[in-house]
Structure 1
């Protein structure tokens, strides 16, 4: 394995954007760590060498992270992972807000009364009317 290929996180201008898009393309967006980014480098290098064992890749990742990276190098991976997570967090919260606004607008346009068969359903769909407080003084 060429350690020089493994120890350097991607540094091009839009590295965080590209990695964030890769993470979003999966079925579930997960939070990345610096070690995850190192593992991605190790997978690329392992594939280049035709090594496909998951166990070997995991062992190599742990070994390199704990014994071959300096604190500065580890921090570079961690900083990039935090940037990716921040991009995806902002993007998902914007999507959630947009979808929520649309949903609330649609709900507010419902004018037909709901078919109600019990007090619970009435309270659920139409809200609860609390009795007014009586001042006894």
Structure 2
């Protein structure tokens, strides 16, 4: 249940940022990034594996037929759910490492560009 609220909070955070930028009349290059993160949060919530969903939020094909058939008994009856979970963790960690390496390699190139953009927007004084 806590994860569901975390997804909701993430959605409210990023959608609020987009609305705030729109209200003050910012250009799309400023509100596009929060919009992208909001879309990623929605996609993450919608595409999460069946074993990470609450029973009443699962699709019918993934939902156990017996109402009392939840928790450990459901996991025992679905061994592929544990395999999917391990695969999901491996893919997530691999993607995280790849993004970290990408950010470390591109940081020296991006830093001057971001500095110029911050001066242009008036966020910092040269």
Q: Same fold (TM over 0.5)?
A: no
Higher relative contact order (CA 8 A, sep 6+): 1
Relative to total residues, which structure has the larger helix share, 1 or 2? 2
Q: Shorter-chain TM-score: which interval?
A: 0.3 to 0.5
TM-score normalised to the size of structure 1?
A: 0.35
TM-score normalised to the size of structure 2?
A: 0.37
